[in-house]
Amino acid sequence: MSDWIDVAAVDAVAEGESVIVDVDGADVAVFKIGGKFYAIEDVCSHDGAEIASGELVGDEIVCPRHGARFCVKTGEVKCAPAYEDIETFPVQIVDGRVQVRDDRWD
Give per-residue pLDDT as tens, 67-81. Answer: 999 999 999 999 999
Least confident of 4-13, 44-53, 75-84, 91-100: 44-53
Whether 66 shows a pLDDT value over 80: the answer reads yes
Map out the domains of the chain with their CATH numbers. Answer: 5-100 (2.102.10.10)
How confident is the model over 1-30, as pLDDT tens digits? 679 999 999 999 999 999 999 998 899 999
Instruction: Give the mean pLDDT of 51-67.
Output: 94
Please state whether the predicted TM-score (pTM) of the whole model is above 0.85: yes
Contact of 16 with 56, CB cutoff 8 Å: yes
Query: pLDDT value at position 49?
Result: 85
CA distance 75 to 40: 6
The secondary element (H helix, E strand) that includes residue 23 is strand 18-23
Confidence (pLDDT) at 18: 95
35 close to 13: Cβ distance less than 8 angstroms: no
Q: Which residues pair with 33 in a beta bridge?
A: 36
